Structure 1
Amino acid sequence: MSVETRSRRSPRGDNTRATILTAAEKLFAEHGIAAVSHRQIVAAARQGNGAAIGYHFGTTTDLVRAIEDKHGDHIESLRTRTISDMGSSPGLRDWVACLVLPLTDHLSAIGTPSWYARFAAQVLTDPTYRRIIIKNSFESASLHHVVEEIGRALPEVPEQELAERSVMMRTMLIYTCAEFERVLAEGNPSPWPHWPAAAHGLIDGIVALMQGPVTRLD
């Protein structure tokens, strides 16, 4: 019987697993993956068994993947719904909204404080774990479709520049959300009053980025 099966069959195991996930996500978001030990996570989760992470998850990589999966399923369902709700002739802004809104709506639904955006930003800067976020968050079928449609809406932008701007677009999305999440958690002044306002600001910014002039260096 696998570790996951054991915990899933026990309500107590499910509660322990959820508590560990929350503690790990918060610590990873605030300090980075490499700076947090299993012992610190177990202590933050108030678990007496020092081997709890190994029992319920396995390695740190498994724990990072479990945190991403916890959020990724809901974000994916929101994206699928956003795509299906679009009109018959969507434009660039509509497709950018399909990129932004599933994440910001998810973060809004979690409430304050949340840690997922900062967790994702930390993972993206860690060469050991960034592939988990890239694979789960940026290689899903629905997101791949959205990015393709954004490209189709910009026929005047050459392929190389489009690839460069796609990287910038992803970076803008994750790090802007991470910064706003941090500001909300700390109760500091923000340019946006709430997540819907942040989402519309992000959509405006990404549309402007993608439509910007192309400068070639000879």
Structure 2
Amino acid sequence: MNIEALPTTEPTDGKTRLILAGEQLFAENGINGASMREIATKAGQGNHAAVQYHFGSREGLVRAIFDFRMEQMEAKRGAMLERARAMGRLKDARTILDIILLPQLELHDADGNHSYASFLSQYLLQSRSPEFGDFSGSEPPHLTEALRLMRERVDYLPPYVAQRRLISISLMFLNILMRHHGTDEAAFGESFPDALEDTMEQIVGSMCMPLRMAPALAGTN
């Protein structure tokens, strides 16, 4: 299981600095808790309206963060898909969930923290979309393929159940990433790889378990 980080060299272009500054401040203060002026200042922009100039709005910046990070993970997901295809494992739930989730392990900010994980957690907690795999409209092809494979794997679930479970297992993964990764093993009594492996097995069970509630009873007390 590869958990090495992508390079964290300081970006040179102003637009990328705004994206990364926005990610960090949204992670620290909430998606609605950081001002556009604060983000511009953190990115070293003298123009305090730089966010509006490049992205139009707070929502535009949120979308840009998703697009930027999704693009970073595409090559990894593509390689994982090709490997799974060669091994005949494109219907294996653990393999598909590894492709969807594990590339996020490699995303660090300039300080070595997982600010994207915190940002994404906050976004998912606010999400009300019933559409399976809805991530702010971003549709990178390799992630889209992995999500399609996952939906086919759990085709016995109603769409709204599959989406609810996808959000739940994503939050499980992000929680273990933020809580354990980079900490002293003695603080938790287990290594991060061991904690991650156990969590991934939990995730497979949570995503794939049969729907035990009779449809006629759904939504009743």
Deviation sequence 1:107-166 (CA, Å, 0-9, x none): 36988213111111222344699x983421xx4443343234334445xx7332x75144
1:73-127 per-position Cα deviation (integer Å, ceiling 9, x unaligned):
02122111101012432122222222222223x3369882131111112223446
**Is the deviation greater in 178-187 or in 91-100?**
178-187
Q: TM-score, normalised by structure 1?
A: 0.71
Identity %: 24
> What amino acid is aligned across from residue 207 of structure 2 in structure 1?
M
- Equivalent positions of 1:79-158 (< 5 A) are 79-86=77-84, 87-90=86-89, 91-104=92-105, 106-107=106-107, 112-126=112-126, 133-136=135-138, 139-153=139-153, 158=156
**2:165 pairs with 165, 168, 184, which one?**
168
CA distance in 1, matches of 2:205, 2:33: 37
Q: What whole-Å deviation, never above 9, does each CA across 1:153-188 have from its counterpart, x for those lacking one?
A: 45xx7332x751443133322453155325557879
For the residue of structure 1 that corresponds to 2:13, the secondary structure is helix
In the alignment, structure 1 segments of 5+ residues that lack a partner are 1-12
Please give the root-mean-square deviation of Cα atoms over the aligned residues, in Å.
3.6
Identify if the C-alpha distance between structure 1 residues 113 and 61 changes in structure 2 by more than 3 Å, giving closer, same or farther.
same
In structure 2, relative to structure 1, the CA distance for the partners of 1:67 and 1:178 (3 Å cut) is farther
Number of aligned positions between the proteins: 198
1:133 is paired with a residue whose SS is coil
Q: CA deviation at 1:36?
A: 1.4
Distance 1:34 1:150 in 2: 31
1:37-52 alignment to 2 at 5 Å?
37-52=35-50
> Counterpart of 1:159 in 2: which secondary structure?
coil
Higher helix share: 1
Please name the residue that 2:72 is paired with: 74
Q: Structure 2 length normalisation: TM-score?
A: 0.70
Q: Displacement, 1:59?
A: 2.0
**Stretch of structure 1 that moved more, 75-84 or 207-216:** 207-216
Pairwise CA distance, 1:37: 1.1
Shift in CA distance, 159/50, structure 1 to aligned 2, threshold 3 Å: closer
Match of 2:4 in 1: none
2:213 is the alignment partner of 1:212: no
- Contact (CA 8 Å) 1:180, 1:190: kept in 2 or not? no
* Cα separation, 1, equivalents of 2:50 and 2:14: 8
2:34 is aligned to 36
Residue 85 of structure 1: SS of its match in structure 2? helix
State how far apart, in whole Å, the 2-side matches of 1:187 and 1:95 are. 30
Distance change in 2, residues 1:171/1:62 (3 Å): same
Question: Residues 84 and 54 (structure 1 numbering): CA distance in 2 closer, same or farther, change over 3 Å?
Answer: same
For structure 2, which runs of at least 5 residues remain unmatched after alignment? 1-10, 217-221
